[in-house]
Amino acid sequence: MKVQLSPIADKGPVIGFYKGEPIHKTITDAIGIRGRYVGILPPDPNGNLKLSDFLRPDEFLVYPGLVYRLVSASDRFQKE
């Protein structure tokens, strides 16, 4: 499954920083697709990101290389 987000509408708490940008525990786009932060996609020696080598089908990338995994409907009702 390929995930395409619309603009981010809601951001959870900041849990760290990467390349000067905040890492949010969760993000939700304008149509309700929600993801939970799971890690950073490391660039190759040339600085390129190889998505197919690292991302699972239920994961998506947010600038500047943050990986989020889709949150299932049942997980949405759990507390942050």
**% of the chain residues with pLDDT over 70:** 81
Percent over 90 (pLDDT), the chain: 39
pLDDT of residue 5: 66
Q: Kindly report whether the global pTM for this prediction surpasses the value 0.85.
A: no
69 pLDDT above the threshold of 80: yes
Residue type, position 27, single letter:
I
The string of DSSP letters for the chain reads ------SEEEE--EEEEETTEEEESEEEETT--EEEEEEE----TTS---HHHH--TTEEEETTTEEEEEPPTTGGGS--
* pLDDT confidence bin for 68, thresholds 50/70/90: very high
Task: Please tell me the distance from the alpha carbon of residue 34 to that of residue 25, in angstroms, as a whole number.
Answer: 11
User: Is 16's pLDDT higher than 90?
Assistant: yes
